[in-house]
Structure 1
Amino acid sequence: MLAMTDAAAEAISALTAQQGQDEAGGLRFAVQNEQQEGAQLALSVAPAPEDGDQVLGTDGGGKVFLEPQAAAFLDDKVLDVQQDDQGQLNFAVLQRTDET
């Protein structure tokens, strides 16, 4: 199952609040294009999970909705946020290590 860092959960909460979503809203991953070496994922702010989505997170915190194909692809990954050179936060999907 996809793991989520505390920083990612906080960023998701801030993003969904900024987009006018209530506590039921979250960040949704869906497979846009599947390739042999991986998948291209679409990321969107959603008001609620769609039928069949896997839901990560807790009440009052950042939520992630994973469409079934995305859930399979992200099963051994960690969702984090990283700051770029301009100070912008970007979501990053990282390979899970033993420490995570």
Structure 2
Amino acid sequence: MLALTDAAADAITALTTQEGQQDNGGLRFSVQEDEQSGAALALTLAEQPESGDEVVKAEDGARVFLEAQAAELLSDKVLDVQPDDEGQLNFAIRDQD
């Protein structure tokens, strides 16, 4: 199952609070099919999980919703937050230790 770092959970909580969705909202991963590049993960802010989504909940209440294909792809991964070259925080997926 996808794991969340504390930094990722904090970022998700900040995003959902900013959007007024802190009670039921979360990040949602889904797989988008593209003819040119094949399958790609899409990340959106969602008010609630969709039917069939797997829900991952952090201790602080932050939630991630995983569409079935995304849940399979991310089952052995960790969602983290890392700064880019300009200091902006971005979600990053890495292998579990």
What is the RMSD of the two structures over their aligned residues, measured on CA atoms? 1.9
Aligned-residue offset at 1:33: 2.5
CA distance in 2, matches of 1:58, 1:78: 12
Q: Once the two structures are superposed, what CA deviation does each residue of 1:17-57 show, in whole Å capped at 9, x if it has no partner?
A: 112213210000000128xxx94101000000000000011
- The one-letter code matched in structure 2 to 1:7 is A
**Normalised TM-score (structure 2):** 0.88
Aligned length: 95
Match runs of 1:50-89 below 5 Å: 50-58=50-58, 61-89=61-89
Q: Once the two structures are superposed, what CA deviation does each residue of 1:52-86 show, in whole Å capped at 9, x if it has no partner?
A: 00001147521000001100010010000001122
Contact persistence 1:23–1:59 (CA under 8 A): no
SS of match in other structure, 2:28: strand
Contact persistence 1:39–1:73 (CA under 8 A): no
Contact persistence 1:3–1:78 (CA under 8 A): yes
- The one-letter code matched in structure 1 to 2:91 is F
CA distance in 2, matches of 1:61, 1:78: 17
Contact persistence 2:13–2:22 (CA under 8 A): no
Counterpart residue number, 1:33: 33
CA distance in 1, matches of 2:9, 2:59: 11
**Normalised TM-score (structure 1):** 0.86
Give ranges in structure 1 of 5+ residues lacking alignment: none
Match runs of 1:15-30 below 5 Å: 15-30=15-30
- The one-letter code matched in structure 2 to 1:9 is A
